[in-house]
Amino acid sequence: MRLTIKLVVGCLFVACLLGSLWEEPVSAVKVVERSNDGNRPLRARAIIRGPNGIEGEVLFLQAPCPGCPTPAPGAPAETFRNFPEPTVLIVARVNGPTSALAPGAHGVHIHEVGLCEAPAFTTAGSHLDLGPAGSNLPVDANHPYHTGDVPNLIVSSRGRGFLSHISSRITLSPGPLSIFDTNGSAVIVHLNPDSGQTGITGASGGARIACGVIQLVPDDDDDFDIGH
Ligand SMILES: [Cu+2]
Residue 139 Cα to ligand 1 midpoint, Å, equals 9
Which residues line ion ligand 1, judged by CB < 5 Å?
Answer: 109, 188
Answer whether 153's CB lies under 8 Å from 146's CB: no
Distance from residue 224's CA to the centre of ligand 1 (Å): 24
Q: Answer for the pair 113, 124: CB distance below 8 angstroms, yes or no.
A: yes
pLDDT band at 46 (very low <50, low <70, confident <90, very high): very high
Per-residue pLDDT for 8 more than 50? no
What integer best gives the mean pLDDT of the chain? 82
Mean pLDDT of the region 160-186? 93
| pLDDT 10s digits, 150-166 | 999 999 999 999 999 99
What pLDDT does residue 176 have? 86
Decide: pTM greater than 0.85: no
CA–CA dist 57, 95 (Å, integer): 9
Asked if the model's pLDDT at residue 7 lies above 60, the reply is no
